[in-house]
Amino acid sequence: MHLTLNVWRQKNASVEGRMVRYEADDINPDMSFLEMLDVVNWQLIGKGEEPIAFEHDCREGICGSCGMMINGVAHGPRPATATCQLHMRHFKDGDTIYIEPWRSRAFPVLKDLVVDRSAFDRIIQAGGYISVSTGSAPEANSVLVTKQNSDLAMDAAACIGCGACVAACPNGSASLFTSAKISHLALLPQGQPEREGRVIKMVEAMDREGFGNCTMHRECEAVCPKAISVNFIARMNREYLRSLLKGEGLP
Q: Of the candidates 170, 53, 59, which has an alpha carbon nearest to the alpha carbon of residue 115?
A: 53
Q: Tell me, what CATH number does 170's domain have?
A: 1.10.1060.10
Q: What is the pLDDT of residues 102-137, one digit of tens each?
A: 999 999 999 999 999 999 999 999 999 998 776 787
92 and 155 fall within a common domain: no
Q: What is the pLDDT of residues 20-50, one digit of tens each?
A: 999 999 999 999 999 999 999 999 999 999 9
Q: Which of 62, 95, 111 is the last residue of a domain?
A: 111
**What's the start-to-end Cα distance of the chain, in Å?**
61
Does residue 246 carry a pLDDT above 90? no
Q: Of the candidates 172, 162, 249, which has an alpha carbon nearest to the alpha carbon of residue 210?
A: 172
Residue 192: alpha-carbon gap to chain centroid: 26
The Cα–Cα gap between 212 and 189 comes to 31
136 and 90 fall within a common domain: no
- Residue 110's CB is within 10 A of a number of other CB atoms, namely 16
In a domain, 251, yes or no: no
Write out the DSSP string of 201-217.
HHHHHHHHTT-B-----
In a domain, 126, yes or no: yes
Quote the pLDDT of residue 139: 79
Q: Which of 50, 83, 111 is the last residue of a domain?
A: 111
106 and 131 fall within a common domain: no
188 and 166 fall within a common domain: yes
pLDDT band at 142 (very low <50, low <70, confident <90, very high): confident
Report helix, strand or coil for 120: helix
Residues ≥6 apart with Cβ < 8 Å to 232 = 155, 156, 176, 179, 180, 182, 183
The Cα–Cα gap between 240 and 111 comes to 36
Q: Which of 111, 134, 154 is the last residue of a domain?
A: 111
| Number of structural domains in the chain | 2
24 and 73 fall within a common domain: yes
The Cα–Cα gap between 43 and 23 comes to 10
CA angle, 199 then 178 then 56, to 5°: 145
- Least confident range of 5-9, 30-34, 69-73, 143-147: 143-147
Report helix, strand or coil for 251: coil
Averaged pLDDT, 239-245: 93
Report helix, strand or coil for 32: strand
- Residue 212's CB is within 10 A of a number of other CB atoms, namely 18
Residues ≥6 apart with Cβ < 8 Å to 59 = 32, 34, 66, 84
Range of the domain at 218: 118-245
Pairing of strands 69-70, 109-111: unpaired
Report field, pTM of the whole predicted structure over 0.85 = yes
- Residue 14's CB is within 10 A of a number of other CB atoms, namely 7
Burial class (CB within 10 angstroms; exposed 0-12, middle 13-18, buried 19+) of 131: exposed
